[in-house]
């Protein structure tokens, strides 16, 4: 997973030094269940558990439209992570992040997609490091 293998060295080298910011945007490219899962990840983020929820989604993904990311299962994942159930359920049921998830996925056709200043790069440490250094060298 990119969050485990690629982000830590980038965070250590560039984010900790205050040179760059990392934004993670869940996107839905596989239909309704994918969209609901992305919204649930944002709801988990409200409680500081984005990456934990993200990892749970990847560990529990099934075939497309298999029900793996049903509303009931997403709430079960949140409970397993000891998230505040009332807050999580309210967030998910309200569709609080539906617009954000839909907007975030525009132009994205695969996950993960890594963008640096709007340019897609390979999801490897080397490719990201190179692209970041290139952007930093040309920054005003």
The whole-number pLDDT of residue 9 equals 87
The phi and psi torsions of 121 (rounded to 5 degrees) equal -130, 160
Residue 104 pLDDT: 61
Please write the tens of the pLDDT for every residue from 6-55: 778 888 889 889 998 877 776 666 678 888 999 999 999 999 999 899 88
Give 46-74 as a DSSP string.
Answer: TTT-HHHHHHHHHHH--STTSSTT-HHHH
How many other CB atoms are found less than 10 A from the CB of residue 96? 14
- Phi, psi of 21, rounded to the nearest 5 degrees: -120, 145
Residue 17, domain extent:
2-138
Contacts of 38 (CB under 8 A, 6+ apart): 26, 27, 28, 97, 101, 104, 105
Which pLDDT belongs to residue 99?
86
Of the chain, the percentage scoring pLDDT greater than 70 comes to: 87
- Average per-residue pLDDT for the chain: 85
Helix (H, G, I), strand (E, B), or coil: what is residue 115? Answer: strand
- Contact status, residue 23 vs residue 113, Cβ threshold 8 Å: no
For the chain, how many structural domains are there in total? 1
Q: What is the CATH number of the domain that holds 89?
A: 3.40.30.10
User: pLDDT tens digits, residue range 63-99?
Assistant: 777 788 999 999 999 999 999 999 999 999 999 999 8
pTM over 0.85: no
Q: State whether residue 119 is helix, strand or coil.
A: strand
């Amino acid at each position: 997973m990119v969050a485990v293998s690629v982000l830590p060295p980038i965070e250590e080298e560039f984010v900790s030094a205050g040179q760059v910011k990392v934004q993670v945007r869940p996107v839905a490219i596989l239909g309704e269940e994918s969209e609901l899962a992305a919204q649930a990840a944002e709801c988990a983020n409200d409680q500081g558990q984005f990456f934990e929820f993200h990892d749970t989604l990847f560990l529990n993904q099934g075939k497309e439209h298999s029900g793996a990311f049903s509303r009931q299962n997403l709430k079960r994942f949140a409970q397993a992570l000891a998230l505040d159930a009332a807050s999580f359920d309210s967030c998910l049921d309200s569709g609080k992040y539906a617009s954000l998830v839909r907007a975030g996925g525009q132009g994205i056709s695969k996950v993960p997609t890594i963008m640096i200043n709007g340019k897609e790069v390979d999801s490897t440490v080397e490719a990201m490091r190179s692209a970041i250094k290139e952007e930093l060298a040309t920054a005003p």
